[in-house]
Structure formats: C-alpha cells, structure tokens
Structure 1
Amino acid sequence: MPEPRVVRRAADRFHTLADGTETFHAFSYGRHYDPERVGFGPVVAINEERLAPGAGYDEHHHSDAEIVTWVLEGVLAHEDSTGERGEVRAGVAQRLSAGAGVTHAERNGSATEPLRFVQMMLRSRNGEAPEYASAVVPDGPGLHDTVPVHADARLVVARPRGDDVLTVAAEYGALVHVTRGPVTIDGESLGEGDELQITGAADLRIRGRDAEVLVWFFVGPQR
C-alpha cells in the first residue's frame, strides 16, 4: 500500500542546466530517470523553468498530454500550432491540450529581465485536435479555480494569509506544489519547490503568512 502522505523536497529534484535555461524536475524527465519517480496520479511532470533574458525553447512536439503553465515572475512568450501567439504573465493559468499532436515554442519575452515559471504535464483524455485555453486567476488570498484540463484532475491556486487557515477537501488524493513559502499543511513545514503527495481522502489545513501553493485535486480513484 502506498504511504498516505509523502513529502518531496525541492533540493531532491533533478536538475538540467543548458545555455540560458535551467530546469528543476520533480519527476523523471528527459535524461533523468528514476522508476520510483515517474509521476503521481495523472501528473507526470512538474518542471520549474528559469530562463535568462531572450532564452527559451524552439518549436518542439507534444501529444497525449495536458500542458499547464503558471508564471512566477517575468513574461513568457508563447506560440503554438493551434494559432495561438502571445505573452503570459503571473496570474494567468495557461493550458495547451496536445491531443493527437501539437508543436509549440516558449521563450523569455523580455530582453532584460529573467523569467521563472512552473510547467506541469498530465496524462490527457483528449485524443483529438489540440486545444488552447487560459484563465485569469484572481489575486489575493483564498482558493481560486484555474483552467480546466482534459485529465482526471483539477488545479486550484491556494493563497493562505496571516493566521487564517485554508481548509480544502481532497476526496481522491491530491498533489501540492509550493510556489511561494513557507507554508504548513497539517503541521508539515514546506518551502518553495517542495511537494506533498496525498493518497486517498484527506482534509488539508494550509497556513502561511504570504504563501502560494498549486493543488491538483484528483477526480476519481487513482491507480
């Protein structure tokens, strides 16, 4: 039986360094492989990307994946084969449903400022044409819905403030990724880049003075 709660620390992530780009991988990705870390629930990748001014990734291909991007600082220049082209900034959740196949390119949209964003990938239920979507997420404390995905999960941004406690119910398990800390979840201290994996039903009590966490709630029993 899997443990009901597992903490993965930011310092234990895989690391890729290239010309102008730096990536921290929560799960096996690219040349990094660990059979014990190939995903959790429908989530198969959580990559924290750090791009120097003007740096980025040229056009490349994806299929059978939901790609969700959350900018932490800076501006992301995005274009893809669905015809979407533009800039993504903090406060906007972007989703590219790759479907049967899509190409996209991503770069730092600034020539002077760094870019940092989290990109997450999930196993997709969309096997047809690719789709693009984005949603503006309200600023301020509380629980905020984001962009829908074609996967057995939904993403919520949780921002606790002061002494208030955010209580969220995870019926079928959840994956929590800290984007701004520190936070405590049911007494467990977590910092930026840390991850909490929840198996089964749980009520999560989140505390933090000026914190932000991304919470993937799983829809239906996970195998």
Structure 2
Amino acid sequence: MYKDELEMLVKFLGEDLLKEENQKKLQELVFSKIKRKEDFQSTHELLKTLESYELRDFLYSKLLESYFSIFNIIYEEGSLKYGDENYKVTIDNETFDSLIELLDESEINGEILFYLLSEDLKKRVEIIQQLISGRSKKEWNEEELKSFVKNLKPLTTRFFELLIEKGKMKSEEIMEILELKNKKSVSALVSAVIRNAPNDKEKLIFKDNEYICINEKYRNKIFEITNKL
C-alpha cells in the first residue's frame, strides 16, 4: 500500500523528493504511516531497486527512522538514541531485513533492541539473558485471561482497558485521563496489574523508556474479553 504511494512519488518527482518542500509531504503520505511488517518489507524491496544512490540513501534513512520510532528509539544521521544514551550504528540491507522480522516478536521492546545493536558487549549479554528468561515464561490461555481481568479492581480495570485501547501511553497522559494525583498513582496501577498475574506467565504490560505498554501478543484477545464482561 505505502510502497505503491512511494513508488508513484519516486516516478513523478524523482530526486526532487530530496527538496525540503517535498520531504514533509513524503513523511505525511508514506513514512509516518508505515507500521506493519509487510509494509516495511515491500518498501525496503522497492528502495533496493532505485538507481539514484543519493535518493536511495535518503529514503532508506527515512525508513529506518520509521522503524525505530515504533520502539521509541530515535534514528538520526547514523545514530541511535534511547533515553539519554546514544551510539553510532551502521545498518545494511541484510541487517534491516532481519530487524524487520523482529516485529513479529512480542518480547522485543525499545530497550532490548537498543542494546542488542550496541557495541557494549556486557549490555548485549544482559539482554540475551533477559530474552532467554522471558522465553521460559508460559503463555496465557483465554480462560486465564478472563479470570485475570475479572479479578482486577475498578480503577485498575479502567487503566488496563485504557492501555488496551492506546497500546502505549506516557504516565502523564494516564494521570490526566484517569484524574490521578501523581506518577506514584500510575506506578501503583502498574504494580497492581503485575501483582495479580502469576509469576510464571508472560508479562501483559511492561515499561519501555517513558512509555507503559501493553503486550501486543494479547492485546486483541483481552480487548474481546473486556467487551464481553
């Protein structure tokens, strides 16, 4: 879909896409909307066919920006930034093909991806250990999810439903919508969700930098359950 939009823009504008006045339109029509694995794959394949190195390099950097933004990581001029940390990185086509495949993995969040790509060996080992530990967690079945949701208190249920609707939210946004006094109240709700879940089960919510996120693996199923209650 967005690959076709980009292909049309390249056909009619060519290297004029490099002009500042066209870059905003390019961002609005294509790169700000690419979220799905299939769209990244098809767009990436299109970029590989472009003859103009300058245009291909520019569009590739925009595609990388879109990809990393999904994980709340900033990609800019060959650098990755997550929170207060940043480092230089080189991502070739084959590596990016592999990164796109990670979009299917619910365990991968911004912190994990950021440190997996870093040159800090200690951090990379810690992240691998974290992933291995996460793999040992058991999946939730539908009946377990139903029981979990039913046992939540009213305010925690509202918080949980809000996360399901939004996918990820900052504490400030949660405070405003739920009319909470401070971030400690948000932390208490997060703790309540975690506390009510068995220790051997996969996480339903997690913290990713400044965002609180729902586990996308269970998002649709929980949405269906809450609508039936």
Larger helix proportion of the pair: 2
Check whether TM > 0.5. Answer: no
Higher relative contact order (CA 8 A, sep 6+): 1
TM-score using structure 1 length: 0.30
Structure of greater Rg: 2
TM-score using structure 2 length: 0.30
